[in-house]
Structure 1
Amino acid sequence: MTELEKGPTGRRRGRGARERILSASQQLFREQGINRTGMDQLCAAAEVSKRTAYQHFTSKDELVAEYLRRFDPSVLSGVFDRTDLTPRERLLAAFDIPPTTPLCPYIAAAVELHDPQHPASQYARDYKQAVAARLADTAREAGATDPEQLGEQLALLIDGAAARTRVLNADAFPSAAAIAAVLIDNAIPATAGDDRRRPPKEVSS
Structure 2
Amino acid sequence: MGPSSRRRGRGARERILETSERLFRGQGIGGTGMDQLSAEAQVSKRTVYQHFGSKNELVAEYLRRHDPDTMPEVFDRDDLSPRERLLAAFDRPRTVPPAEVTPLCPFIAAAVEIADPDDPGRRCARDYKMSVAARFTETARQAGAADPEQLGEQLALLLDGASARTRALGTETLPTAQAIATILIDNALRGAEPEAAGA
State TM-score, norm by structure 2: 0.91
Query: Who is 1:69 aligned against?
Result: 64
State TM-score, norm by structure 1: 0.88
Q: Does the CA contact (< 8 Å) of 1:80 and 1:134 recur in 2?
A: yes
Amino acid in structure 2 at the alignment position of 1:58: G
- Residues 124-147 of structure 1, C-alpha deviation per residue, up to 9 Å, x if partnerless? 000000000000000000000000
Cα distance in 2 for residues equivalent to 1:119 and 1:173: 30
Cα distance in 2 for residues equivalent to 1:144 and 1:191: 7
RMSD: 1.8
Query: Who is 1:84 aligned against?
Result: 79
Query: Who is 1:17 aligned against?
Result: 12
Cα distance in 1 for residues equivalent to 2:192 and 2:31: 53
Cα distance in 1 for residues equivalent to 2:168 and 2:102: 13
Gaps of 5+ in 2: 94-99
1:40 aligns with 2:35: yes
Give the alignment partner of residue 53 of structure 1, picking from 30, 48, 54: 48
What SS does the aligned partner of 2:23 have? helix
Distance 1:38 1:191, change over 3 A: closer
Query: Who is 1:144 aligned against?
Result: 145
Cα distance in 1 for residues equivalent to 2:197 and 2:178: 15
- Residues 26-71 of structure 1, C-alpha deviation per residue, up to 9 Å, x if partnerless? 0000000000101110001110011111110110010000010010
1:156 aligns with 2:151: no
Amino acid in structure 2 at the alignment position of 1:22: L
Shift of 1:189: 3.0
Identical-pair percentage = 65
Shift of 1:115: 1.6
Correspondences of 1:166-205 after superposition (within 5 Å): 166-193=167-194
Shift of 1:117: 1.4
What SS does the aligned partner of 1:97 have? coil
Gaps of 5+ in 1: 1-5, 198-205
Q: Does the CA contact (< 8 Å) of 1:144 and 1:188 recur in 2?
A: yes
Amino acid in structure 2 at the alignment position of 1:41: Q
Cα distance in 2 for residues equivalent to 1:113 and 1:189: 41
Amino acid in structure 2 at the alignment position of 1:72: D
Instruction: Tell me whether 97-106 or 67-76 shows the greater mean CA deviation.
Output: 97-106
Tell me the matched-pair count: 191
Query: Who is 1:202 aligned against?
Result: none
Amino acid in structure 2 at the alignment position of 1:127: Y
